[in-house]
Amino acid sequence: MKPLALFFYCFPFLAMGQSSPILEGYIQQAFDNNHTLKEKQFQVDKSMLALDEAKRLFYPDVAFGATYSLAAGGRSISFPIGDLLNGVYSTLNQLTKSQNFPQLENVTTRFLPNNFYDARVRTRQPIINAEIKYNRQIKAAQISVQEADLQVYRRELVKDLKSAYFRYLQATEAIKVYNNALDLLAESKRVNESLIRNDKAIPSVLIRNTSEVAGVQAQLTDARNQQRNAAAYFNFLVGRGLEEPVAIDPAFDQLLIKQDSMGNAKMYREELDQLNKAQELNQIVVKLKESWRSPKLAAQLDLGSQAFNFGWGGYALLGLSLDIPLYNANRSKLQTQQAAVDGMALREQTKQVEAQIQLQIKMAQNNLQSDREVWQSYQAQDEGARQFYRDMFKRYREGISTYIELLDARNQLTTVAIKRSIAYFNVLIRQVELERALGAFALK
């Protein structure tokens, strides 16, 4: 049975001793097709648009507005212009012997304008506004946090994808082992038939051989089912049809083991970067809450027309507005304190995550070392089982040993081969876990 390849990464970057273009291609497909990854990318794109929106809050805001009113009744004011001027006008007409000064009626004007319109183009321009400044910084910090979260998911996807691929190879190798066992049983059947013809074995050995074949075929069926399930899960992670065939990289036909130093490993985890960005975001929020006393200054320009009966009455109106908060019952102070407490909680969370990551790395290193030693132990067992089966097969053909002893040797050979195969890929999977713990995979 030909062993599949094992790859150990060189620290500090854990570069694979031999690259796997096929597996790298599957990883790129997963980056392109994974729905959760696309969803997170859309969230980042949305935050980028929100940042662009926040930047434009310092741009002028231009709007057209118009009002038109019809009114009847309501409050009014009387102006006795006739009583005031008619006597004067009469005297002037007598002195000038003319009618140049007509008699006037007293005027009553209502407060509600009737048949009146006001149309204008209004431009607003913020000049000083701390909320707009810090809001823009908050949006930029949120993008950094989301991008770090996106990288965290990409790394987790790589780990799951590699582990699923190795489990598929593990099931594929198990199928090879069981097929090899069937070949051995077929060979022993031919030997039994020859021994029976020569009266050196009883016919019942064929019944036992058939029973052994049925048992191995049942194990083979289970291995094929595991292979199908492993392929379906792998295809699910890649983001393609569940029945798509999974290619096996020829590079995995070679065994490359490299004993590496664990002490010089360099760790990079986006989880910590994400928490650091969250702390920076929290600091900006604190500054925003502290800026509640900052004055707000804005300018406004109206260009329009207002008149009765749709006449023309053009005008321009320029104004400045200044808003200086004085008192809000310490609500902003309490909000600032809440944001500061959130910052302290984030710092403690960062320390906790750092400790968890160190524990994860240590456990991954221990698991890798342990599984490597387990695999190495099966090396000697596998060679011993092969030699033992060859010796028993030779002794059985010569009539020295029993068929039960031959079957026991065959079972031992198959069992060791399966355990050795499992150990191969357990090492690979542990290696992937260590790669994930160190954040060593080079994300493009």
Report pLDDT digits (tens) over 218-248.
988 999 999 999 999 999 999 899 999 998 8
Taking residues 356-379, report their average pLDDT: 89
Q: pTM (2 decimals)?
A: 0.76
> Cα-flanking dihedrals φ and ψ of residue 50, to 5°?
-65, -35
**pLDDT at position 342 over 70:** yes
Q: What local confidence, expressed as pLDDT, does residue 267 receive?
A: 65
Distance CA(128)–CA(220), nearest Å, equals: 76
Does 262 have pLDDT greater than 60? Answer: no
* Mean confidence (pLDDT) of the chain: 84
Residue 32 lies in a domain: yes
> What value does the mean pLDDT take over residues 244-265?
59
Phi first, then psi: give them for residue 5, nearest 5 degrees: -75, 150
Residue 215 domain-assigned? yes
Structure tokens at 10: 């060189």
Nearest by Cα to 230 from 166, 186, 152 = 166
Higher pLDDT, 140 or 413: 140
CATH number at residue 361: 1.20.1600.10
Residue 124's pLDDT band (boundaries 50, 70, 90)?
Answer: very high
The Cα–Cα gap between 158 and 429 comes to 12
For the record, the structure tokens of 274 come out as: 């994400």
Residue 98 belongs to some domain of the structure: no
Mean pLDDT of 317-341: 91
The CA-based angle 279-283-289, given to 5 degrees, is 140
Residue 251 banded pLDDT, cuts 50, 70, 90: low
Residue 281 belongs to what domain range? 9-66+132-292+333-438
Q: Which of 149-158, 199-208, 266-275 has the highest mean pLDDT?
A: 149-158
If one compares 305 and 109, the residue with the highest pLDDT of the two is: 305
pLDDT of 96 over the 80 cut: yes
Q: Does the residue 164 lie in any domain?
A: yes
Total count of domains within the chain:
1
CB within 8 A of 70, min separation 6: which ones? 114, 115
In a domain, 410, yes or no: yes
Q: What is the pLDDT of residue 157?
A: 93
For the chain, what percent of residues have pLDDT higher than 70?
Answer: 90
- pLDDT at site 200: 67
Compute the average pLDDT of residues 400-425. 79
DSSP summary character for residue 200: S
Q: Is the pLDDT of residue 1 over 60?
A: no
pLDDT of residue 244: 92
Q: How confident is the model at residue 4 (pLDDT cuts 50, 70, 90)?
A: very low
Question: How high is the pLDDT of residue 13?
Answer: 31
Q: Look at 239 and 200; give whichever has higher pLDDT.
A: 239
Give the pLDDT band (50/70/90) at residue 84.
Answer: confident
Q: Is the dihedral of CA 377, 383, 389, 395 positive or negative?
A: negative
With a cut of 70, say whether residue 388 has pLDDT above it. yes
Task: Read off the pLDDT of residues 164-189 as tens digits, 9 standing for 90 and up.
Answer: 999 999 899 889 888 888 887 787 77
Which of the residue ranges 40-54, 218-232, 256-270, 409-423 would you say has the lowest mean pLDDT? 256-270
Question: How confident is the model at residue 392, as a pLDDT?
Answer: 76
Phi, psi of 241 (to 5 degrees): -60, 140
Q: What is the pLDDT of residue 134?
A: 93
Query: Higher confidence at residue 387 or residue 289?
Result: 289
Residue 79 banded pLDDT, cuts 50, 70, 90: confident
Angstrom distance (rounded) from CA 20 to CA 26: 10
Asked if pLDDT for residue 383 goes beyond 80, the answer is no
Q: At 440, give phi and psi (nearest 5°).
A: -90, -15
In the numeric block, which tokens belong to residue 95?
A: 């002195």
Residue 251, domain member (yes or no):
yes
* Better pLDDT: 276 or 209: 276
398: in domain: yes
Structure tokens at 237: 């992670």
Considering only residues 140 and 408, tell me which one the structure prediction assigns the higher pLDDT.
140
Task: Check pLDDT > 50 for residue 405.
Answer: yes
Continuous segment of H or E residues that includes residue 316? strand 314-323
pLDDT at residue 256, as a whole number: 41
Question: The tokens of 104 are what?
Answer: 């006037």
The gap from C-alpha 167 to its chain's centroid, in whole angstroms, comes to 24
Q: How confident is the model at residue 252 (pLDDT cuts 50, 70, 90)?
A: low
Residue 2 has pLDDT above 50, yes or no: no
Residue 266: the pLDDT is 56
| H or E stretch at 252 | none
For residue 25, being part of any structural domain is answered with: yes
